[in-house]
Each structure stands twice: as structure tokens, then as C-alpha cells.
Amino acid sequence: MNATVDRTPDTTPRTLHEPADVLVVGASAAGLTTVEALRRHGYRGTVTVLGAETDPPYDRPPLSKQVLAGGWPPERAQLRPPDALSALGAEFILGDPAVGLDATTRTVRTASGRTLRAEAVVVATGTRPRTLPGQTGLAGVHVLRTLGDALALRAALLGSARLVVVGDGVLGAEIAATARTMGCDVTVVGPQPAPMANQLGHAVAELLADLHTARGTGLRPGSGVRALVGSAGAVTGVSLDNGEVLPADLVVVAIGGDPVTGWLRDSGLRVDNGLVCDSRCRAGQGVYAVGDVARWHHDQLGELLRLENRTNAGEQAMAVAANILGADRAYTPVPYFWTDQFDTKIQVHGVVPAGADAEMAVVGGDPATGRFVARYRREGRVTGVVGWNMPKQTRQRRQDVADALAGGRVRTPASL
């Protein structure tokens, strides 16, 4: 999945002073898109990109699918070839994470002792995977966030038979689907009644559960994990709250991530489930945030929102680039994400409301045929649409959600 890139020339009148230099902290998709948007809009100032990883910017969605399955070589996940990165005229400093920020002077300190200062700083540090107690130091337990994580997990899967995935959200379900196509025995453990129930609603999540079950994935819905079980320093199983122990050669922990904001602790900026920003994605004078780490005020929703998906990373970066150059533009997207599992593509525009008062209706296709679009309402108002193998028709229904957002009538569930 790639976010749509707006390549039309920027004709927005400049009302603010354009910064002489911009520092992007995070060599991520959001960080790279910020740089590309600045250059596309004619910015000629100095640009520096600081990255914690040694790899140049790459795409994360393929990690749990094409890269993990071995269908793509690692270099194919890179977002741009070296000559395209060079053409941006930006300095990339990789393998040197930020450890501190003075927001007043917009000065960033790095782990190696560098001090970098710019008139505008863009925070694009993403998230860090959550872990389970006892996970550290236990061989055979993996997370999946980086390219290195994906390659290590693939190598382990090729030599293992039994995988337990702890986590029944998007990432956990995708890893399970990929591992099953590789021939592994897979069991998914999670607290929801079905995989991705919080993102898809009960009815569609049950269809996803049926899809996984039909392909041989074992599901343990509504289950909590008591502990990881190991022997001689290696994982051997997962102990559930009900006393059952699932044997495992490998365990993947996919229980969400926390925004990488520890380095901002003494910055003077507000950190609360991400770097808190105004509707322009501005956290302070000359300091902005993009992607998974940004928690900004969505004017149409009337509340703070943080989204962890590839589409938002790109769209938010383009909005921030415009605002750095003086656009003064509120960022009010229709939330969107998609997932590919087995031969099924699922797309969600807007949000699926939780609770018994949510209304779901099939408005295109038929679930019995494996192709349909469902529309969700709450209190008579459209909140989201979910598409199952009907991408064109799902995009057409997106406008229903956009119209409701424009009226300020949609409220997001706490899970977002």
C-alpha cells in the first residue's frame, strides 16, 4: 500500500517565514515524504534526515507479507533507490538515534554526541513494539517492526514448525496468514472475540476468523497470556490464563506499539500517547510531528487522534510540509487502513464503532460470494465503511464518511 502522492504544484500563498533549514528526526516513510513534499513545493533550504536505523527509508507494510514470505528481496522494500534519495539534496544521517530535544532552540542531541539545530524540526520517530514480561533474552521470541526483524523472523520460520502469535490485531493476523502460506502450524492468541474485531466490527471479524480457520490457523479468541514458557533459554510454549499451555518453537509478540517519545522527556513539549500537536500537527514553535508518533487535534472530530498506518504517514507528512512553508492548513483526513491476508483485501474508511448501538448494513456485493462492502452507522450517522475484496466500490463509499466528518458528526472509538 502506498499513500497517494499529490504532485500538483503548490500555489498556496506564503504567509509565514520559510525556515532556512529543516531537520527531520526519523528516516521513516513519514519522514521521507516530508522531505519530498518540501522539495516538490520548491523549498531550497538545507534539509537533514536523522535516522535510528542503519537502513535507508523503507516501507513497513510489506514486512509482514512479501518480505516475510520471501516473495520480495529486502531491497525491494526500500522506498527510493539511492539516486532518487541523492536527488533530494538532503543529508541522511543513519544509525544515530535522537536522545534529546531542546524545543526552544530546536536543537537535537544524538546517541553519538552530535548536536543538530534547525529552524524547523519534524518528529517522525514512529513506535516501538510492546513486549511481554520475560521476553527479553528468551530465544525464539520475536517482534516485527524493522526490516531486520522481518528477516530474522523469516529465517526462524523456515526452520520451525509451530508458531504462536500473541496478538489478534492487524499485524498479528497478517503474520499468521503469511506463516500459514509458508507451511507453519500457527495459533493466534488474543483478547478479542475474533481477529481485528475492534477494527472491523463483530460480523466482519467473524468472517476473518472463518477465513483463517479454513486455511488452518488455530484461533484462541478471548484469551489472555499468563507467561511465556521456556527451557534452556529458549521458548517452548505460551501459558494462557485458563491454564492451557500452547507448545511453540517460535512466538511472535504483536500486541501493539508505544510512540517513541522517551527522547522528548525534557523537551518541554507535551507527550501523552504520542507527541501532542494542534490541528496543524505543530507541537511547539517550529516543531511538528508526523506519522505514528503524532497525536494531533482533528478539527472535524473535535478530539486528539493518533493513527498507526501507512496512508496517514504519507498524507500527514504532505500536510506538515505545506504548513512548514506557510500554508496554515488543518489536517482533517478520513481515517483509512487496509490489510491483505491470504487472498483477501480488506479496506476500512472512517471508523467502525464499538458497542451494541452500532448498525451494520451490507451496501454492495454479498458476503456469501467473498466480495462485499459494509456501511456502519451510529445514531443514524455514517461512521465508516469496510470493503472485502471490493476496492473500487469501497472507495466510492468513502464519500459517505467524508460527508459525515465534514458535519462534525463522527466520534472515534477510544481504541484509535
For residues 407 and 244, give the distance between their C-alpha atoms in angstroms, rounded to a whole number. 49
Cross-strand partners of 276: 295
Give the pLDDT confidence score for residue 407 in this predicted structure. 75
Q: Which residues of the chain carry a pLDDT beneath 70?
A: 1-16, 355-357, 408-416
Give the pLDDT confidence score for residue 5 in this predicted structure. 31
**All cell numbers assigned to 245:** 499451555
What are the DSSP calls for 322-384, one per residue?
A: HHHTT---------EEEEEETTEEEEEEE-PPPSTTEEEEEEEEEGGGTEEEEEEEETTEEEE
User: Which helix (H) or strand (E) is 288 found in, with range?
Assistant: strand 287-289
**All cell numbers assigned to 82:** 539511492
Give the pLDDT confidence score for residue 414 in this predicted structure. 41
Calculate the dihedral angle through the C-alpha atoms of 325, 329, 335, 338, rounding to the nearest 10 degrees: -30
Give the pLDDT confidence score for residue 281 in this predicted structure. 98
Give the pLDDT confidence score for residue 354 in this predicted structure. 72
Give the pLDDT confidence score for residue 67 in this predicted structure. 98
Give the pLDDT confidence score for residue 412 in this predicted structure. 52
Give the pLDDT confidence score for residue 379 in this predicted structure. 83
Give the pLDDT confidence score for residue 351 in this predicted structure. 87
Give the pLDDT confidence score for residue 355 in this predicted structure. 65
| Range 368-379 burial, b when 16+ CB lie within 10 A, else e | eeeebbbbbbbe
Give the pLDDT confidence score for residue 2 in this predicted structure. 32
Cross-strand partners of 191: none
